[in-house]
Chain A
Amino acid sequence: MATALRIDPDKCTGCMQCELACSWVQTGQFQPSASLIKVFIFDEQAAYTPYTCFQCNEAWCMTVCPVNAIGVNPVTGAKVVLEDACVGCALCVIACPFGTAYLSPSTHKATKCDLCGGEPACAMACPTECITVADSSNGQEWTARLASQVSARFQEMLQGLA
């Protein structure tokens, strides 16, 4: 089984409840700077969206780790940092093409979204169901829809340039 956070940007209101919930899990305080999910706000485009690890299949963070400190949770499929093994070399941070692996300033170890062991706090806190938990093992139909939207916009932009 593989799960991931399904994010529907159109539903985001930019309220940051996800960041607050995540930071509460990480630190026991409300501290958005420690959140592993980030809300991006593009005011000129009136676009907001949370953004975090896709739990991707290739998982370069995992592949690149020299000490095998990133493993797969067999229940959720999440790629999880094993803090005891991590030496803080930051190779995963460099390798992740999505920028969703971080080095914690307090522990100097890698940190990333682990889906809270199956019940992600961000999804629970989201008031608009913009963030939900989805089965990502087959189809990827929702990522495909997003990708086609993005690519359509990209094509439009290219035409505008021509």
Chain B
Amino acid sequence: MSGGWTGRVLRVDLSRGEIRVEPLRTDWARDFIGGRGLGARYFFEEVDPRVDPFAPENKLIFATGPLTGTNASCGARYMVVTKAPLNGTITTSNSGGHWGPALKFAGYDMLIVEGRAPEPVYLLICDDQVTIRPARHLWGKGVWETEEKIRDEVGLPEVRIASIGQAGENLVRFAAIMNDLHRAAGRNGVGAVMGAKNLKAVAVWGTGGVPIARPRDWMEAQWQFRRRLRESPVTSEGLPQFGTAVLVHVINESGALPTKNWQLARMKPDETGSDAEKISGETLKAEYTIRNKACFACTIACGRVTHVSEGGKVRHAVTTSPRNWNLAGEGPEYENIWALGCDTNVDDMDAVIKASFLCNDYGMDPISFGATLAAAMEMYEKGYIDDQITGMPLPFGSADALVAMTEATALRRGFGKELAEGAKRLCEKFGHPELFMGSKGMEFPAYDARAIQGMGLGYATSNRGGCHLKGYSVKAEILGVPYKMDPHATKGKAELQKKLQDSTGAIDASGICLFVGFGSELDDLLPLLNAATGVDYTLDDLLKAGERIFNLERLWLLRAGFTGADDTLPERLLKEPIPYGPSKGEVNRLHEMLPEYYRLRGWTEQGEPSAEKLAELGLDKLRAG
């Protein structure tokens, strides 16, 4: 391998304490590129889809792409691939920061963790020296303290750490893996898999380099790529100015901001008694932001470093405040603000930031947590559960409940035990499964699928459940990138979703951040991949690779027992019209899109990839069954 990939895979068996380095399967690397694709390919080969996610037989794969660690704008990403404790799907959970590049510099494209350590341990990777170290003294500690202690212990200030907090240890079903303090491989509960393996952290220090196959082509391509990002208003103004939170205002005005567990789709004082403007990106910038922070090699810098004044601390004290509370932390991102603020109807920025910092320190996905709390709040307001069960009043809009329940959930205390199971299990347990707002067992993120039809199709067909990152049609339907489509129409949405899902697969596999999709197209990525790897991909190859990845994940799901019947949305989105705002009266018309989508995908009416499609993608040997 001449560039991009390092060509080596690190395999660690925690049960036996064995560490092995093996060569990367170059045939798979070519077809699945890296990151999400390569990780999923290895996972497909090695893990029985019917495995219990917490069993030692489940594996945890950290996969980088060929562009990870290069100076290509936003080449910072790694993917965590595993079977999800939240909903039993295959998950590919993405994170930025500096950890992924560090793994490349240490000389590995992927880290595969197997088995379960008998005692809490952490993994220390210093180039070729890899050791499994005791971590009993770190167990029970938050992410900040864990990083500090490991850094002191190994004496390397530049060591990069991915770890779990208390949520992962306590097997909270939506626990995250946190790296570089604030960056999260957030969804599906990948942190709980790490907790089940007794693996507290993976610390990496790499001194090597990432070679480039065609240096001259590379430099030209990466400057061109940067120029493209600088020319787009989203990546050169919106995101750097306000961070992802810029969307709060935009989505609210579109009437697509799910509020009060998706009963409403707009947060206006006369409709919900709360005001989205109080927790918008503009407010965040004016009153809380200290500075912008970038992930590795990122020229956008959407990260917000924020600070809350003393007043906030007094009003929302919990017994174990996050370590960084009086200092500074990163976030909240748009999704955090929505889940912790809009879905729960809490328009108190201090409380949202506090809950967001707590999620970071405990290592917990704020989307699933906020959505689960919102479901609990609806059950509380409707009288399905009471103070006896919850231990405290849980009405919509309660900032105190938000902060208190964040802690209780991560530590699995009191009613937190129930929340830690996720919204689907929670709603089923208390007899109201219809209040679970998600698909394939995972809670939805921050876009109302009634107001943005294409997102509904995306949620229903996403391979890991309710997720906005595998086919972000909001881009076209609301933001008009690269062209504007009517969000209330279903026409053309099947084609849009398929195209987006396939190109997203290729971006996710290359090791670059999905946000480049706001300012560039796949044809801008192509010269970068070719120059880095020395492979002559065509644009069609990349789209095919994306499609191959999507179909591979689908095959895995079918093997795990999911069917086409799982490609659906909750009743509320299909039947209860939005009551107010510009999307008033809308429901999601999934039935108008799904059959066409299956057809475009080359799937049967039951949602299974056809033999011809699999043959076309070179997946025919991997048929379901």
**B69 closest partner in A (C-beta):** A30
Binds A, one of B202-210, B445-453, B578-586, B610-618: B202-210
Could you give, for residues 209-247 of chain B, a 1 whenever the CB lies within 8 Å of some chain A CB and a 0 otherwise? Answer: 111100100000000001000000000000000000000
Residues of B474-491 whose CB lies within 8 A of A: none
Q: Is A29 an interface position by the 8 A CB rule?
A: yes
Cα distance, A152 to B215, chains bound together (Å): 46
Residues of A16-33 whose CB lies within 8 A of B: 16-17, 20-21, 23-24, 27-33
Q: Which residues of A contact B291 (CB under 8 A)?
A: 10, 13, 46
Shortest beta-carbon distance from B28 to chain A in Å: 24
B299 touches A44 (CB 8 A): no
B307 touches A33 (CB 8 A): no
Q: Is B130 an interface position by the 8 A CB rule?
A: no
Q: Which residues of B contact A14 (CB under 8 A)?
A: 293-294
A13 touches B292 (CB 8 A): yes
Q: When the two chains form the complex, which single residue of B71, B98, B290, B307 contacts A125, counting CB atoms closer than 8 Å?
A: B71
A13 touches B293 (CB 8 A): yes
Q: Which residues of B contact A20 (CB under 8 A)?
A: 70-71, 297
A31 touches B294 (CB 8 A): no
Q: Is A140 an interface position by the 8 A CB rule?
A: no
Q: Which residues of A contact B299 (CB under 8 A)?
A: 15, 17, 127
Q: Is A45 an interface position by the 8 A CB rule?
A: yes
B212 touches A29 (CB 8 A): yes
Residues of A80-117 whose CB lies within 8 A of B: none
Q: Which residues of B contact A43 (CB under 8 A)?
A: 181, 324, 328
A23 touches B209 (CB 8 A): yes
**A15 closest partner in B (C-beta):** B294
Q: Which residues of B contact A10 (CB under 8 A)?
A: 291
Cα distance, A77 to B453, chains bound together (Å): 62
Q: Is A51 an interface position by the 8 A CB rule?
A: no
Residues of A35-70 whose CB lies within 8 A of B: 43-46, 48
Q: Which residues of B contact A45 (CB under 8 A)?
A: 327-328
Q: Is A7 an interface position by the 8 A CB rule?
A: no
Q: Which residues of A contact B296 (CB under 8 A)?
A: 15-16
Cα distance, A15 to B180, chains bound together (Å): 13
Q: Is B279 an interface position by the 8 A CB rule?
A: no
Could you give, for residues 54-81 of chain B, a 1 whenever the CB lies within 8 Å of some chain A CB and a 0 otherwise? Answer: 0000000000000001110000000000
Q: Is A34 an interface position by the 8 A CB rule?
A: yes
Cα distance, A64 to B400, chains bound together (Å): 63
A15 touches B295 (CB 8 A): yes
Cα distance, A34 to B327, chains bound together (Å): 32
Q: Is B251 an interface position by the 8 A CB rule?
A: no
Q: When the two chains form the complex, which single residue of B207, B210, B301 contacts A13, counting CB atoms closer than 8 Å?
A: B301
A17 touches B293 (CB 8 A): no
Residues of B85-129 whose CB lies within 8 A of A: 98, 105
Q: Is B298 an interface position by the 8 A CB rule?
A: yes
Cα distance, A10 to B292, chains bound together (Å): 10
**A125 closest partner in B (C-beta):** B71
Q: Which residues of B contact A46 (CB under 8 A)?
A: 290-291, 293, 305, 307, 327-328
Known: A45-B327, A45-B328, A46-B327. A31 touches B293 (CB 8 A): no
Shortest beta-carbon distance from A10 to chain B in Å: 7
Cα distance, A14 to B105, chains bound together (Å): 18
Cα distance, A79 to B580, chains bound together (Å): 68
Shortest beta-carbon distance from B239 to chain A in Å: 12
B328 touches A17 (CB 8 A): no
Which interface residue of B226, B290, B328 has the most chain A CB atoms within 10 A?
A: B328
- Give 9 A-B contacts (CB < 8 Å), ordered by A residue: A13-B291, A23-B209, A27-B209, A30-B70, A30-B212, A33-B208, A43-B328, A45-B328, A46-B290
Q: Which 10 A-B pairs have the closest CB atoms?
A: A31-B209, A29-B209, A15-B294, A13-B294, A20-B71, A33-B207, A127-B299, A46-B328, A13-B301, A30-B210
Given A17-B71, A23-B209, 16 other A-B residues pairs in contact with their CB atoms under 8 A: A13-B291, A13-B292, A13-B293, A13-B298, A16-B296, A21-B71, A28-B211, A29-B209, A30-B209, A33-B206, A46-B293, A46-B307, A46-B327, A46-B328, A48-B293, A128-B301
